[in-house]
Structures are given as structure tokens and as C-alpha cells.
Amino acid sequence: MDRTRHWITAYRAGCCLCVTGESKTDRPALPGNTVGIKERPTMAEIPRKDRAAIKSDIALSRDRMARELSGLRYELDIPRKIKNSFRDQTAIWIGSVAVMGLLIAIAPARKKKVYVRAKDNSKENGKSLLEAGALVGVLKFAATLLRPALVKFVTSRITSYSRTRSQATH
């Protein structure tokens, strides 16, 4: 019996086990298969005529793939198809765009319903609303009075900044 060694690598790196025993792949041929396996010639052993045929088949398949790829590019060129369709059927395109615009303009907008719940203390709500309105009025009056001073301050800052920038660049 033929004894062979099999090296089994464990999951951890650097750890190997050596198992000695009979190989299960070294079995004798089946009783009905007395002919054995016929070996085919490798590429190096192929005659010159067959090599030329293989090379010509490869060249033909490359040409066919190139034609199919260019056809695929032609079919997938959507912008070109739209441009040609618009050029050939301009009236249909303009009419369909006009109809779509009309439908969008006429179609009723979806109205969202908003439900507001009133609090139990409606007197307090009215009072706080009155206070907020008065505060907005006072702020608006103060802004009207302070606006010229604020504009003067901002313009002086901008001009001083631009002067320092122009002196720094010269």
C-alpha cells in the first residue's frame, strides 16, 4: 500500500498538522473502465492548421462583439432618440407639453385641512395675543427710530474695513 503524507493547515496561522495514511484519491480504476483516461493535446501540441483556425475564430468573434457593442450603444443613446423624435414630430411634442401644462394649471391643488384646538382658557389666549401684538408694534416703532443710526454705523464699518484692505494690498 502506498502511504502518503497530507499536510492539514489549521485555522490559526503557523499551525500545521501532519497526517500519515492512505490517500483516498489513489484508488484503482473501476473494473468496467479498463481503457482509462484519454489525454488530450495541450495548446503547445496543437498543429499549425488548427492554430490558424482558432486565431481566425477569435478574430471573427472580436469583430462580432464590436458590432454588437456599437449596436447596443446606438440603441441606448436616449438623448439622440429624443432629439430625432422632436425633430420628426415637433407638433406632437409641443401639443403634448401644452396639454400637460394645462392639466397642471387646471388641476385643483390638494388642500390640507388644519384643525386648531382652542384651549379652555380663552381669556388668557386673548390676553397673550394682545401682549404679543403690542410688543410687535413697539419693536416696529423702535426700529423706525433707530434705523438711521444703524445704517450710519454699518456704512462706517464697511468703509473703514475697505480702507484697511486697500492699504494692506498696496
CA-to-CA separations, 132 to 119, 121, 122, 126, in angstroms, rounded: 18, 17, 15, 10
The pTM (predicted TM-score) of the whole model is 0.32
pLDDT digits (tens, 9 = 90+) for 89-110: 999 999 999 999 988 888 877 7
pLDDT digits (tens, 9 = 90+) for 40-64: 656 566 667 788 889 999 999 999 9
Q: Which three cell numbers stand for residue 23?
A: 490517500
| Mean pLDDT, rounded, for 67-80 | 93
Nearest to 146 by CA among 134, 156, 158, 154: 154
Class of residue 126 by CB neighbours under 10 A (exposed 0-12, middle 13-18, buried 19+)? exposed
Every domain of the chain and the residues it spans: 47-106
| CA 102 – CA 95 distance, rounded (Å) | 10
Within 13 A of 149's CA, how many CA atoms are on the CB side? 5
Q: Which three cell numbers stand for residue 42?
A: 495541450
Please state, as a whole number, how many other Cβ atoms lie within 10 Å of the Cβ of residue 119. 7
| CA 16 – CA 9 distance, rounded (Å) | 5
